[in-house]
Chains A and B, each alone.
Chain A
Amino acid sequence: MSVLLLALLVTLLLGSGTYLILRQHAMKLILGLGLISHAFNLIIFSATGLTAGTVPILPLPPRKADEWPGAGHFADPLPHALILTAIVIGFGVTAYLIALVQRLHEVRDGTAYHEVEHFSPGRSGEPDDYMYLEDTLSEPRSAAPGADATGATR
């Protein structure tokens, strides 16, 4: 039963994550990626089946062989370790993505980021901007009103 619930939860997370990613909006994109990564974490979590009411520690060897509770009676610790790694990686990448969107906001000179980042191919930036990094950073950002940080050097 709980496996079914977990499967439904994974479906829900994947579905809403996919929906959010397709929204053409930077913040929703990040949230959607977060949901999807949690969906995959849950998939790993449930991969070896759910063992209720016990810890992922093998009990001490019993004195008599017939007292051995059996391998099925303790939770498999490996998926936990895998998820832990995946969560840490996902956390770091999410933080980095937020920093990226923040930077995108900065280089757009004060435009709120939910107004600018639409993933339409027609609105690509000026070509060759990237070649002028040397000039860009030495120039004060507010020097040329109307021109953005990269365009000012052209």
Chain B
Amino acid sequence: MTDSSNLANLLALFAIIPLCAAGGSLLIPRFQLLPRLHTHSLAALLAGIVNLILALWLMARTVQGTNLVLHVGGHHGPFGIVLVADVFSALLLLLTAVIYLGTVPFAIDVLDQRDRMGFYPLSLFLLMGVNGTFLAGDLFNLYVFFEILVITSFVLVTLGGQRDQIRGGLRFVVLNLLGSMVFLGAVAVAYGTLGTLNFAHIAVLLRQPNLPAWLVPMMAGLLFVAFAGKSALFPLHFWLPCSYHTTHPVVNALFGGLLTKVGLYSLFRLFPLLFPEQLAAWQPAFLALAGASMVVGTLGGLSGDTLRRALSFQIVSHIGFIFAGLALAGTRNGVLAVGLAPAILYLAHHMVVKTAVLMAGGAIELELQTGRVVPGPDGGTGGLLAHRQWLAIWFFLTALSLAGIPPFSGFTGKLGLLLLMISMEQWLLLAVAVLSSFVTLYMIMRLWQGAFWGAPPPVRNTDGPAAAPTRLGPGFGMLTLTPIAVLVGCSLLMGVFGESAWSVANQAAATLTDVEAYIDSVALAGHLADASH
């Protein structure tokens, strides 16, 4: 069922609200309203709340099976710009809204000078880019929204201008830029051969019998390289571990939740829709890449010498898990919805929990003024348990969820993926997945022990009075702990009410694999049929 009535106009608000909030806060001089609240953070907070309400509304509508389609300016696809929202888009928009709203109070609490350097407007532009990507109905708008979010992330990753940030940021910028150019190449191939960029229209035209044999592999390959680079899949992951940990903890949490998922979304959206045969044909290679991502991410996380470096590198292994679901779903008989569902559930879990754990990890680093919590030859401070009990509890719970311990959401998602691997008889991948889960558990427990047990931090200022060494950092309060608790609660709810979460994931997977319904929803009243002649 498709709804392209006036209500669909609300889809544009997902881009307009962050844009207006960001633009408005850049235009109006920044001034303090309350001790901790100024115009920028207020704008971000309000935009985040409105965005969350919109996302909830969209989720409630699409979960009933209604796709919302906005033909921007009344120009119908494939010539006009089309924004499409189905359950999968709505789910990711909702998660994005929750994560964004969670990081804003964290930022209000702990942000340093970056507060004055325009963190909030930038984060709003990032939100706009992410939202737009999830709604884009054609390749070029996908590219444009990608660029909005990538360029914003270029600035966010170097915000503060520290040496390490610039060093990591340069790699981040260059590799993402190259990915964008490959994407542009795919756009050129699509337009040059098919004469269209609209997803649904491409899907229709790719069914023609006498297409050149190289066309589909080439488009699929270019798009895969572009999106694998953006989603930090092995072997295109190395921009992530060299840049994420150099950013401020707030930026790190935002990136960990949102940035790489946009690439994954694009893979999930485009491969079942446009190249289902390639998904099956390239399955061995895809599975190998997924397994390698799991191994590299887990071992990289284990070798990370600081808390956030370890947690950030570990994202790569989760990307491997999620991508494994997509790769397993491709069969000779088409893309299986039952294969995509656990991957979608794991994606949802990962976004929520990774943000929470990076926020908790960032709070620990700010408190200790160092991330070197693991005892070793060159470091190992900790001992936070004495005066940061709540943080210890929340970090522990996010760690459990990250490792996939019931009743948290990590368990249901991971269980689904493991069962899928068993049913597909991918024993090697299964072994890698199980082993990397155990290593993840070990890694995160080691971090927890280091941060909360361990030796208390040494007194930094040896000249001054030796008093009050326990709280060295700028500290944080309820504004940090509450979002972490809320995100942990979300993870717990997703785990406890696994049945409902599972059904939503199933529905999202079904919309991804139901190509006909997608084409129908975009091509209203035979516009597409006319255009393809």
> At the interface, yes or no: B221 with Cβ under 8 Å from chain A?
no
Cβ-closest 7 pairs across A and B: A47-B192, A44-B188, A47-B188, A107-B163, A104-B166, A125-B164, A43-B188
Q: How far is the CB of A21 from chain B (nearest CB, A)?
A: 7
B248 contacts which chain A residues (CB < 8 A)? Answer: 130, 133
Restricting to A108-136, which residues have a CB under 8 Å from any CB of B? 108, 117, 119, 124-134, 136
Q: Does A68 contact B (CB under 8 A)?
A: no
Most buried by A among B144, B173, B248, B371: B173
Bound Cα distance from A92 to B177, whole angstroms: 12
Contacts of B195 in A (CB 8 A): 48
By beta carbon, the residue of chain A nearest B378 is A127
Could you tell me if A103 and B158 are in contact, using CB atoms closer than 8 angstroms? yes
Q: Beyond the given A128-B306, A132-B369, could you list 10 further A-B residue pairs with CB under 8 A, ordered by the A residue number?
A: A36-B181, A47-B192, A78-B191, A93-B177, A103-B161, A104-B170, A128-B370, A130-B160, A130-B165, A133-B160
B499 at the interface (CB under 8 A from A): no
Interface residues of B in 138-187 (CB under 8 A from A): 140, 144, 147, 151, 154-155, 158, 160-167, 169-171, 173-174, 177-178, 180-181, 184-185, 187
Report the count of interface residues on A (CB-CB < 8 A). Answer: 48
Quick check: B147 and A137 within 8 Å, CB to CB? Answer: no
User: Which residues on the A side are within 8 Å of B154 (C-beta)?
Assistant: 93, 96
For A64-89 the 0/1 string (1 means CB < 8 A from B) is 00000000000000110010011001
Q: Is the CB of A93 within 8 A of B166?
A: no
CA distance A126 to B278 in the complex (A): 45
> Is the beta-carbon distance between A137 and B163 smaller than 8 angstroms?
no
Most buried by A among B154, B181, B306: B181
- Given A36-B181, A96-B154, the answer on whether A129 and B187 have CB atoms closer than 8 Å is no
Q: Pick from B144, B177, B371: contact of A128, CB below 8 A.
A: B371
B446 at the interface (CB under 8 A from A): no
5 contacts between A and B (CB under 8 A): A21-B174, A43-B185, A96-B155, A129-B162, A131-B365
Whether B114 sits at the interface, judged by CB under 8 Å, is: yes
Bound-state CA distance A150–B184 (Å) is 38
- Point out which of B112, B171, B192, B248 has the most chain A C-beta atoms below 10 A from its C-beta: B192
Q: Given that A100-B170, A104-B167, A128-B306 are known contacts, is A133 also in contact with B162, CB under 8 Å in the complex? A: yes
Most B Cβ at <10 Å: residue of A47, A126, A136:
A47
Q: How far is the CA of A90 from the CA of B245 in the complex (A)?
A: 27
Query: Is A97 in the interface zone, CB < 8 Å from B?
Result: yes
The 0/1 profile, CB within 8 Å of A marked 1, for residues 359-381 of chain B is: 00000011001111000000000
Contacts of B184 in A (CB 8 A): 40-41, 43-44, 86
CA distance A97 to B160 in the complex (A): 15
Contacts A29-B174, A100-B169 given; indicate if A130 touches B147 (C-beta within 8 A).
no
Interface residues in B, total, Cβ within 8 A: 48
Q: How far is the CB of A48 from chain B (nearest CB, A)?
A: 6
In the assembled complex, the Cα of A36 lies from the Cα of B174 at a distance in Å of 12
- Cα A97 to Cα B114 with chains together (Å): 20
Q: Is the CB of A37 within 8 A of B187?
A: no
Q: Looking at the complex, which one of A43, A48, A133 makes contact with B113 (CB distance below 8 Å)? A: A133
Residues of B with C-beta under 8 A to A137: 113
Is B235 located at the chain interface by the 8 A CB criterion? Answer: no
A36-B56 Cα distance, complex, nearest whole Å: 42
The answer to whether A48 touches B163, judged by C-beta atoms less than 8 angstroms apart, is no
Which among B160, B173, B191 is the interface contact of A100 at CB below 8 angstroms? B173
In the bound assembly, the distance between CA atoms of A133 and B474 in angstroms comes to 12
B372 near A127 (CB under 8 angstroms)?
A: yes
Q: A96-B154, A104-B166, A104-B167 are in contact. Are A127 and B305 (CB under 8 A)?
A: yes
Residues of B within 8 A of A149 (CB): 163
Chain A proximity of B242: nearest CB distance (Å): 8
Q: Given A43-B185, A133-B114, are A107 and B191 neighbors across the interface (CB < 8 Å)?
A: no
CB contacts (< 8 Å) of A130 on chain B: these are: 160, 162, 164-165, 245-248
Chain B min CB distance to A141 (Å):
12
